[in-house]
Amino acid sequence: MAYLTDDELLDTEDGFTEWDEDTAAGSTEETLEQALAGERLAELESELEQDEHPVDYDTELETEEEEAAPVSEKRLKQEIRAEAMRRLEEAARTESDFRVVVDEWNKLDRNRERRERDHENLRGDVPLEYQAVPEPKLIPLWMNNPAYRQLMAGNFLDILFDCPYEMHYLSADPFISGMIENLSEEHKEVLYFLSLRLYSITRLAAIRGQSDRNIRKLRKTIHKKLQRQMYDHLCSKPENGLTLRERRFLEEYSKIAKKQGKDAVIRRENKTKRRKKKKRP
């Protein structure tokens, strides 16, 4: 099953763009197949890694006695590692030294990602209903429902918080969660249906009894507000604690902010290429 989001068809200065339905559907289908293959490969590698090198995470956690004590062995080890990393960064002078620092940070990132994979059943951008049988004969159609498949897979939190007013619980980042929670009810509804439910602007406008123009203005206002808060938050963090994606966001947003000031907002790129109009004879 292939579908396009409204951001792939809209978000241009002139409004709608022309697009080739067959070409767009084919490219989307190919992208979903590649993403699905990547998810399956990552899941298989994670299972093999856990089988070959099982990790006892209980040994890394402090007991009640260690938490109550002013100093514990595990806490000292964590502080020693952090101090060693800080000294390594400050002592770096040559290119080879910085490569060592980068390798150490990559190692820490791999360990963090491994812990996340071991504890969470992560899902990428592939929709749950992708490649579902449209009219199954053995398995009832209602069992192909994304919510039911989520529940059977044990991902019940996505179902409990599948609501505009509870969606901030879907993020484990306290800043992002608080940022979404502090939005107005109107902004929460628009963000929920456009970003999570992937409704088109036309469909959401019909539901809310508004025009497409009003929905686009609301979306731009929400993006502008969230991006500004995220920019201020990332600026307060140390540079060595930023991810590559966060650094790219800072660079892109700062360039736009110099031109637009407080009205700065990063628009999503329109990936649909314009077709050249044929000249009439």
pLDDT band at 17 (very low <50, low <70, confident <90, very high): very low
Q: Is the pLDDT of residue 16 over 50?
A: no
DSSP 164: T
Percent of the chain whose pLDDT exceeds 90: 27
DSSP string computed for 58-95: GGGS--HHHHHSS--HHHHHHHHHHHHHHHHHHH--SH
> CB neighbours (10 Å) of residue 253?
19
* pLDDT of the residue at 215: 93
Whether 56 has a pLDDT exceeding 80, the answer reads no
Neighbours of 219 (CB within 10 A): 22
Angle at 79 between CA 173 and CA 97, to 5 degrees: 90
Confidence of residue 203 (pLDDT cuts 50, 70, 90): very high
Most confident residue range from 69-78, 127-136, 138-147, 226-235: 226-235
pLDDT, mean of residues 79-96: 90
Contact 205, 215 (CB under 8 A): yes
Q: Residues with Cβ < 8 Å from 206, sequence gap 6 or more?
A: none
> pLDDT class for 279, splitting at 50, 70, 90?
low
| Mean pLDDT lowest among 14-28, 74-88, 150-164 | 14-28
155 CB-side CA count, 13 A: 14
Residue showing tokens 């070959």: 52
pLDDT, residue 154, reads 78
Task: Please give the mean pLDDT across all residues of the chain.
Answer: 79
What's the predicted TM-score (pTM) here?
Answer: 0.49
The predicted-structure confidence for 251-273, as pLDDT tens digits, reads as follows 999 999 888 887 888 876 544 45
Q: pLDDT, tens digit, for every residue of 153-168?
A: 777 777 888 889 999 9
User: Which pLDDT does position 269 carry in this prediction?
Assistant: 52
> What pLDDT, on a 0 to 100 scale, did the predictor assign at position 48?
76
Q: And the tokens for 233? A: 């938050």
15 in helix, strand or coil? strand
Highest mean pLDDT range out of 31-40, 149-158, 177-186?
177-186
Q: Tens digit of pLDDT for each residue in 94-145?
A: 999 999 999 999 888 887 777 776 666 566 677 766 776 667 676 777 777 7
- Between these two residues, 209 and 122, which has the higher pLDDT value? 209
Which CA distances in Å does 185 have to 96, 165, 202? Answer: 52, 7, 20
pLDDT(8) > 50: no
- The pLDDT score that the predictor gives to residue 118 is 66
Contact 167, 161 (CB under 8 A): yes
Per-residue pLDDT at 22: 59
Res. 15 pLDDT band, cuts 50 70 90: very low
